[in-house]
């Protein structure tokens, strides 16, 4: 009976390590700062308080309030939306802005209750509340 001899194990070459950290953590646990990192920290953008305040465009609900203040009778979402778009108070990219307005008004009534700016006058018609008249 003959036994097979195993081939001797190959030696793997190991790289000599130098003292450079190459981005590894130092003994304190922090990574070594790089020149790029220090440069970007020196040139930070201004804080939010220093920036100019942008003029906010009115929302569709805000524009609807402006239209409803000019009318004496309750209006439907479609009538309000057509007037808002014709006056240029709001611009949207959606296909059904009247559905967006209707759902936003219903949502405000449901969420805010007595503090809502709108109330339902009849089926599909809305009018302003006292809170809405103050805005």
Domain ranges of the chain: 75-134
Neighbours of 105 (CB within 10 A): 21
Average pLDDT over residues 30-58: 65
Q: Which has the closest alpha carbon to 79: 119, 127, 117?
A: 127
Which tokens is 50 given? 């220093």
pLDDT on residue 118: 94
pLDDT on residue 96: 96
């Amino acid at each position: 009976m003959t036994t097979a001899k195993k081939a001797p194990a190959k030696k793997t070459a190991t790289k000599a390590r130098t003292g450079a950290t190459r981005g590894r953590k130092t003994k304190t646990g922090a990574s070594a700062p790089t020149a790029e990192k220090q440069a970007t920290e020196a040139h930070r953008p201004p804080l939010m308080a220093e920036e100019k305040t942008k003029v906010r465009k009115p929302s569709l609900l805000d524009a609807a309030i402006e239209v409803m203040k000019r009318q004496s009778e309750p209006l439907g979402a479609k009538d309000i939306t057509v007037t808002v778009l014709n006056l240029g108070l709001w611009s949207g990219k959606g296909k059904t802005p009247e559905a967006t307005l209707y759902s936003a008004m219903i949502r405000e009534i449901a969420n805010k209750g007595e503090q809502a700016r709108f109330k339902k006058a009849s089926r599909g018609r809305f009018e302003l509340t006292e809170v809405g008249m103050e805005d």
